[in-house]
Amino acid sequence: MAVVMNKKDELVIMLAHYFVTEENYTPIIVNGVKDEVWLENTKGPYRIIRINSNHIHNDEQLKYDLFKTKNIMRQVRKKTLSFTMNTLNIFLDLGDNVNLKPIKNIDSIKIGDVEEIKNQKDLNSLFPKLKDKALFDHEGFDLLIDATNDINVKTEENNKLFEDTFKPKFVYVTLAIIGLCLLMFLITTFTGGSSSAYNLFRWGANLREAVVSDKQVWRLLTCAFLHAGILHLLVNMYSLFIIGSQIETYMGKIKYAVIYIISAISGSLLSIIFSENISVGASGAIFGLLGSLLYFGYHYRVYLGTVIRTQIVPIIILNLAIGFMFSGIDNFAHIGGLIGGYLATMAVGVRGRSSKSDMVNGSITLILYLGFLVGIAFFYVK
């Protein structure tokens, strides 16, 4: 039995197949729309590509359609914490008397058949592989089968990456850090007390004068494994187990260890810039893991939904607010760790999501940031 497809359906399949398999766009589920395909790629020339096969027969209908598009873009921006978003509107059934006009952040083009795709200079300049990779020589049942198979292969690759990233793993590094913190707590407890500033200093607490004047830079890291009292230890170890387990699972053990160390050092550097007091605790590094989770969550926002906006960001804001409201909390270490963890994750990259240019830019930004902190701490602050 022959399968007959109309030309609009063939165009939708051709374009969706190309953008998904060749340009790494991901379909977005948009409630309440019909005969439209919405695709997203944060690295693409357009953040959003919309393929619309609805019939638009006059300017008034086009005006309403663009109003609807803006509303959906606003929802996507809110969901992904994006300030701006550029969209390509591809109309497949536009009346001859409809006038497409440029609108801020929305470019619109009309495509009625395969030849118009090939002759769209702007489209082909932005997507140079379109002429060679689109299934122009397929039609009907053959087009449907080949496009479906290619998209399934691409989907399987993405699903495997998703499964490898999120499947439970034994968190050796997190448990090792917790074990080291427990060991140092026992040592400080039985050698003078874990609440003794002098004893904590003996075992590696952070202090501006010791780090800057005496060049005891190792304190920038060792302080992250010391805790002042059992409550301090328990709160931090619980937080570390919950958040650290996630980051170690998502990022891998080596990247996780790098992020943790850089976060701890970054927090300690900002701490000695703004404070002359002794400082201990893993909270600066833990805030770095929150920063890492923020960066990771942004790259997986399609899967994680509103987790960034409704969970990660509120947790960060709440904990920083608590730090400013109560004395005895080194909030500058928290802020320094948060920034360091975010930048460190940019530098090491999220597997399957970060490009080489992202990682290079992240590494450069991280080096400049740490260099700035070192310069301020060692050569400016007295």
Query: Residues 31-57: pLDDT tens digits?
Result: 667 888 888 887 888 989 999 988 888
Q: Are 93 and 8 in contact (CB under 8 A)?
A: yes
Q: How far is CA 372 from the centre of its chain?
A: 24
Measured CA angle at 70 (ends 65, 73), to 5 deg = 125
Provide the token pair at 280: 């201990």
Say which residues have a Cβ less than 8 Å from residue 45's Cβ, sequence separation at least 6. Answer: 88, 126, 127
- 108 vs 260: CA distance, rounded Å: 45
| Highest mean pLDDT (candidates 113-127, 144-158, 188-202) | 188-202
Query: Residues 299-356: pLDDT tens digits?
Result: 887 667 667 777 888 888 888 888 888 778 899 999 999 999 999 999 999 988 888 9
- Count how many Cα atoms sit within 13 Å of the Cα of residue 285 in the half-sphere of its side chain: 31
* Residue range 168-177: mean pLDDT, rounded: 95
- 155 vs 20: CA distance, rounded Å: 9
* Catalytic machinery residues: 283, 334
* Residue range 24-33: mean pLDDT, rounded: 77
Phi, psi of 297 (to 5 degrees): -60, -35
pLDDT at 135 (0 to 100): 67
Q: pLDDT band at residue 95, thresholds of 50, 70 and 90?
A: confident
- 240 vs 237: CA distance, rounded Å: 5
pLDDT at 238 (0 to 100): 95
Provide the token pair at 215: 């060049």
- 329 vs 352: CA distance, rounded Å: 37
Q: Are 73 and 85 in contact (CB under 8 A)?
A: yes
Burial class (CB in 10 A: 0-12, 13-18, 19+), 270: buried
Mean confidence (pLDDT) of the chain: 88
pLDDT at 234 (0 to 100): 96
Measured CA angle at 12 (ends 7, 18), to 5 deg = 125
Q: How far is CA 311 from CA 290, 307, 314, 316, 345, in A?
A: 11, 5, 6, 9, 19
- 315 vs 321: CA distance, rounded Å: 10
* Residue range 67-94: mean pLDDT, rounded: 83
